[in-house]
């Protein structure tokens, strides 16, 4: 229990450090940015320490220096704004803080409980995540060393891992517990961030809480379908629900799946930063033009500088955020201009600023790009590609698509249906042009045999019409019509992202059968967040409308309630199933399974974690991915000569050195004498050699030679030898 309490207390304290800054930045928001203060602190500390480390300062010192600088800056801002801060607290700010604190705490504790029910940091790619997390918790230099290819720098998007590794450095909690608390932190920050943004849009807590639940807690409809098929809610296959479209040839994960799976992966870690980006963009005070203001004045450019920093961080956490993040930024920052005429001076100025944002986002994180080489795969002779972007019309089943997004899309599609008709352009020419465009798109999609394209084209065009039609602003407060556009633009962005999955894919090394696996994975995940934020606002508008058919609001509310309840089947079923089997051993210790299943390896790993400082190289057997191989490097963060070779091959465009190292590791273990492989051990700076059950299984004939080395640690079948 104590690690949970310590983590919560310290993280809350870190969040308060940034409150004076968010208070200043989000001066137009009633919450003054409090729900986003925690991720602001983590982001600023990580960026500051990262840059100081690149300047040659040891990373631990750099992190403390960044913390001291932030404390000083925070104190200075707090003193300068003390009267405004006190007035805000007295005038309702304290109540808002308590409300958002309650949402964050409830979310954090709920997801920590979920992790305690299934805490193992093992399975799928969790060893990769844990290896990165542990190495970055130990590193003293930048760029960091790859834990699975000793001596080589990372060639992966590691900034998100660094953010959460920094939390593990600052909070006195062991890494095997901190990892699970980081997963819970992401879930809690996502829930509280979405609730805060939805409250800004709807001004009603029930709708805001519904948005948070849709984003972070609900599953897709496959959980309900499984329960129906099996006649039981506690026998669900949690994995199946993340592989719905194309019979498992694509990935359709959603935030709750990532939380219960323990997936500290870039697409998941970026979610709190995505909330910060949306908070900036939805604050009309930041981006709404002021009459008579110079477009290039300091005040006018500051929001775009903040946007560049946050967007730049998102991209180096997860590069898949680039296209959708830029699209959302352009749409939301530009929502204050009317759609027609299309070409205006303010719109051209906005586009010029966005180019500047992209350049600044690149320059701010230049050290990362200088050390990163994006993996490349040559397109096949029958693929139509421009660079890595390829065109191919998919044939997603409408039933599968609705299974994934039915509950999230229902209120938005229904609102577009009832709003688009009266939102059509007033002029005959414009109306005819729109009708022709819709007809052409629908006919083309129908000819392609893809009902999903028909649906998404209609959503995109209807959202565009509704966002900029006068009818869309009905019911809006004076001067806030542009804010009523924001949910429609979120629907538009989600529709474009989902439509892109049907028409395009990014070329990657996963082969012809899985050609769009990663594209669907990353874009569906982002669309889930946008739809979760827009759906409750759409539902609110539907229920507030005056209907010719009196029972309509009740029918809509009942239909939405049914969809939400069906979406609850997944979290309820998975939680109940896990709770029934884990109550006796619920823990946040992600390595408890090691102590039970591999006690000798666990003892050696525990000794290495406690006794070895820095990043000396440890040699261990290399083998199949998604398995128990690379267990020493993953659980300690110590670099090994070769971890999962197929992953390194993907990250490094199948460099020959990957296979070379793989064979050399086997050569070291199989050699008859140490003299035969001394040069190899020296080349890779190997200080420790692990011999456990895997090594005995794969290399039994050559292990006797290591008895000539001093034993650093030994227990049962596991021995760690020391070379130096």
**For the segment 7-50, what is each residue's pLDDT rounded down to a tens digit?**
999 999 999 999 999 999 998 899 999 999 999 999 999 999 99
Q: How far apart are CA 593 and CA 601, in angstroms?
A: 11
Q: Let me know whether 509 and 629 are in one domain.
A: no
406-425 pLDDT, tens per residue? 999 999 999 998 887 666 65
- Residue 690, classed as helix, strand or coil, is strand
Mean pLDDT of 97-111: 97
Q: Let me know whether 343 and 431 are in one domain.
A: no
> Can you say whether the dihedral through the CA atoms of 484, 488, 494, 500 is positive or negative?
negative
Mean pLDDT of 566-584: 88
Cα dist from 417 to 426, 442, 540, 587, whole Å: 18, 15, 15, 48
**Comparing C-alpha atoms, which of 123, 128, 256 is closest to residue 525?**
256
The answer as to whether 235 is a domain residue is no
The answer as to whether 123 is a domain residue is no
Residue 436's pLDDT band, with cuts at 50, 70 and 90, is low
Q: Let me know whether 356 and 403 are in one domain.
A: no
Q: What is the pLDDT of residue 309?
A: 97
- Residue 264, classed as helix, strand or coil, is coil
Q: What is the pLDDT of residue 473?
A: 44
Residue 549's pLDDT band, with cuts at 50, 70 and 90, is confident
Mean pLDDT of 349-365: 94
Of residues 655 and 388, more confidently modeled: 655
The answer as to whether 610 is a domain residue is yes
The answer as to whether 230 is a domain residue is no
- Residue 619, classed as helix, strand or coil, is strand
Residue 294 contacts residue 254 (beta carbons within 8 Å):
no
DSSP 153: B
Q: Let me know whether 605 and 648 are in one domain.
A: yes
The answer as to whether 677 is a domain residue is yes
Structure tokens belonging to residue 233: 């809610």
Residue 378's pLDDT band, with cuts at 50, 70 and 90, is confident
Examine the pLDDT at 430 and tell me if it is beyond 90: no
Rounded to the nearest 10°, the torsion over CA 182, 183, 187, 190 is: 60
Structure tokens belonging to residue 150: 């000793």
Percent of the chain with pLDDT over 90: 77
Q: What is the pLDDT of residue 630?
A: 98
Residue 376 contacts residue 432 (beta carbons within 8 Å):
no
Of residues 547 and 359, more confidently modeled: 359
Q: What is the pLDDT of residue 565?
A: 98
Residue 447's pLDDT band, with cuts at 50, 70 and 90, is low
Q: Let me know whether 408 and 527 are in one domain.
A: yes
Q: How far apart are CA 44 and CA 70, in angstroms?
A: 8
Q: Let me know whether 507 and 597 are in one domain.
A: no
Q: Let me know whether 395 and 495 are in one domain.
A: yes
Residue 649 contacts residue 655 (beta carbons within 8 Å):
yes
Q: Let me know whether 662 and 695 are in one domain.
A: yes
Radius of gyration of the chain (CA): 27
Q: Let me know whether 521 and 605 are in one domain.
A: no
Q: Let me know whether 360 and 424 are in one domain.
A: no
The answer as to whether 515 is a domain residue is yes
Which residues, listed in sequence order, are joined to residue 690 by a DSSP beta bridge? Answer: 720
Q: How far apart are CA 559 and CA 552, in angstroms?
A: 10
Which residues, listed in sequence order, are joined to residue 722 by a DSSP beta bridge? Answer: 688
Q: What is the pLDDT of residue 475?
A: 44
617-636 pLDDT, tens per residue? 999 999 999 999 999 999 99
Helices (H) and strands (E) in the chain, counts: 31, 7
pTM: 0.94
Mean pLDDT of 314-335: 94
374, 399, 417: which is the final residue of a domain?
Answer: 374
Which residues, listed in sequence order, are joined to residue 688 by a DSSP beta bridge? Answer: 618, 722
Residue 476's pLDDT band, with cuts at 50, 70 and 90, is very low
Mean pLDDT of 101-117: 97
Which residue is listed with tokens 């509310």?
557
351, 374, 397: which is the final residue of a domain?
Answer: 374
Structure tokens belonging to residue 396: 């997603």
Q: Let me know whether 396 and 541 are in one domain.
A: yes
Q: What is the mean pLDDT of the chain?
A: 91
Split into its structural domains, the chain has a count of: 3
DSSP per-residue letters across 269-330? HTHHHHHHHHHHHH-HHHHS--TT--TTSHHHHHHHHHHHHHHHHHHHH-TTHHHHHHHHHH
Mean pLDDT of 193-201: 97
User: HEC profile for 386-450?
Assistant: ECCEEECCCCCCHHHHHHHHHHHHHHHHHHHHHHHHHHCCCCHHHHHHHHHHHHHHHHHHHHCCC
The answer, yes or no, to whether the previous bond of 143 is cis (omega within 30 of 0) is yes
Of residues 291 and 691, more confidently modeled: 691
> Can you say whether the dihedral through the CA atoms of 503, 508, 509, 514 is positive or negative?
negative
Contacts of 349 (CB under 8 A, 6+ apart): 295
Examine the pLDDT at 428 and tell me if it is beyond 90: no
Structure tokens belonging to residue 119: 């805490």
Q: How far apart are CA 325 and CA 526, in angstroms?
A: 9
Q: How far apart are CA 335 and CA 346, in angstroms?
A: 11
- Determine the structural domain holding residue 666 and report its residue range: 592-722
Mean pLDDT of 692-721: 96
374, 402, 425: which is the final residue of a domain?
Answer: 374
Which residue is listed with tokens 């609705």?
402
234-275 pLDDT, tens per residue? 999 999 999 999 888 999 999 999 999 998 999 999 999 999
Residue 111 contacts residue 192 (beta carbons within 8 Å):
no
Q: Let me know whether 417 and 336 are in one domain.
A: no
Q: How far apart are CA 400 and CA 247, in angstroms?
A: 9
142-188 pLDDT, tens per residue? 999 999 999 999 999 999 999 999 999 999 999 999 999 999 999 99
The answer as to whether 301 is a domain residue is yes
Q: What is the pLDDT of residue 583?
A: 56
């Amino acid at each position: 229990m104590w690690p949970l309490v310590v983590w919560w207390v310290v993280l809350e304290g870190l969040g308060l450090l940034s409150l004076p800054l968010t208070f200043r930045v989000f001066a137009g928001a009633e919450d003054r940015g409090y729900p986003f203060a925690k991720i602001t602190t983590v982001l600023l500390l990580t960026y500051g320490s990262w840059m100081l480390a690149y300047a040659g300062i040891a990373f631990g010192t750099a992190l403390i220096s960044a913390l001291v600088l932030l404390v000083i800056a925070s104190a200075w801002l707090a003193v300068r704004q003390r009267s405004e801060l006190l007035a805000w607290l007295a005038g309702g700010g304290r109540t808002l803080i308590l409300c958002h604190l309650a949402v964050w705490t409830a979310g954090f504790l709920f997801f920590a409980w979920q992790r305690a029910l299934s805490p193992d940091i093992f399975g799928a790619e969790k060893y990769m995540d844990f290896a990165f997390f542990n190495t970055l918790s130990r590193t003293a230099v930048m760029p960091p060393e790859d834990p699975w290819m000793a001596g080589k720098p990372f060639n992966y998007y590691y900034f998100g891992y660094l953010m959460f590794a920094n939390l593990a450095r600052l909070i006195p909690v062991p890494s095997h517990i901190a990892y699970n608390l980081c997963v819970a932190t992401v879930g809690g920050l996502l829930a509280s961030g979405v609730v805060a943004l939805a409250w800004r849009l709807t001004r009603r807590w029930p709708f805001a809480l519904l948005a948070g639940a849709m984003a972070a807690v609900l599953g897709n409809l496959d959980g309900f379908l499984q329960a129906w098929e099996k006649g039981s809610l506690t026998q669900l296959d949690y994995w199946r629900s993340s592989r719905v479209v194309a019979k498992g040839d694509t990935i359709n994960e959603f935030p709750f799946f990532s939380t219960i799976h323990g997936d500290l992966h870039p697409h998941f870690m970026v979610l709190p930063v995505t909330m910060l980006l949306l908070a900036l963009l939805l604050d009309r005070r930041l981006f709404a033009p002021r009459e008579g203001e110079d477009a290039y004045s300091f005040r006018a450019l500051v929001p775009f500088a903040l946007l560049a920093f946050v967007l730049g961080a998102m991209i180096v956490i997860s590069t898949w955020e680039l296209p959708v993040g830029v699209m959302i930024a352009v749409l939301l920052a530009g929502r204050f201009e009317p759609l027609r005429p299309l070409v205006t001076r303010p719109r051209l100025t906005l586009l010029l600023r966005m180019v500047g944002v992209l350049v600044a986002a690149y320059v701010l994180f230049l050290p990362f790009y200088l050390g990163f080489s994006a993996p490349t795969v040559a397109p096949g002779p029958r693929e139509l590609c421009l660079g890595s972007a390829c065109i191919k019309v998919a044939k997603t089943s409408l039933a599968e698509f609705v299974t994934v997004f039915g509950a999230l899309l229902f209120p938005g599609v229904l609102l577009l249906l009832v709003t688009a008709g009266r939102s059509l352009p007033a002029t005959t020419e414009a109306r005819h042009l729109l009708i022709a465009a819709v007809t052409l798109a629908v006919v083309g999609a129908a000819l392609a045999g893809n009902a999903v394209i028909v649906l998404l084209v209609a959503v995109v065009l209807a959202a565009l019409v509704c966002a900029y039609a006068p009818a869309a602003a009905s019911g809006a407060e004076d001067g806030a019509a542009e804010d009523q556009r924001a949910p429609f633009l979120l629907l538009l962005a989600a529709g474009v992202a989902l439509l892109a999955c049907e028409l395009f894919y990014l070329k990657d090394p996963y082969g012809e059968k899985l050609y769009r696996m990663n594209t669907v994975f990353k874009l569906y995940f982002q669309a889930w967040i946008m739809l979760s934020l827009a759906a409750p606002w759409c539902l609110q508008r539907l229920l507030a409308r005056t209907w010719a058919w009196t029972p309509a609001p009740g029918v809509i509310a009942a239909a939405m309630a049914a969809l939400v309840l069906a979406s609850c089947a997944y979290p309820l079923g998975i939680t109940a199933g896990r709770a029934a089997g884990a109550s006796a051993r619920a823990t946040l210790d992600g390595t408890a399974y090691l102590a039970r299943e591999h006690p000798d390896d666990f003892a050696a790993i525990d000794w290495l974690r406690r006794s070895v400082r820095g990043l000396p190289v440890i040699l261990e057997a290399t083998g199949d991915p998604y398995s128990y191989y690379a267990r020493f490097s993953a659980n300690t963060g110590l670099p090994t000569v070769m971890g999962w070779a197929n992953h390194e091959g993907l990250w490094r465009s199948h460099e020959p050195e990957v296979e070379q190292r793989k064979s050399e590791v086997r050569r070291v273990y199989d050699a008859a004498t140490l003299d035969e492989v001394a040069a190899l051990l020296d080349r890779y700076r190997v200080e420790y050699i692990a011999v456990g059950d895997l090594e005995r299984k794969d290399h039994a004939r050559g292990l006797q030679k290591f008895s000539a080395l001093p034993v650093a640690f030994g227990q049962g079948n596991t021995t760690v030898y020391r070379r130096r």
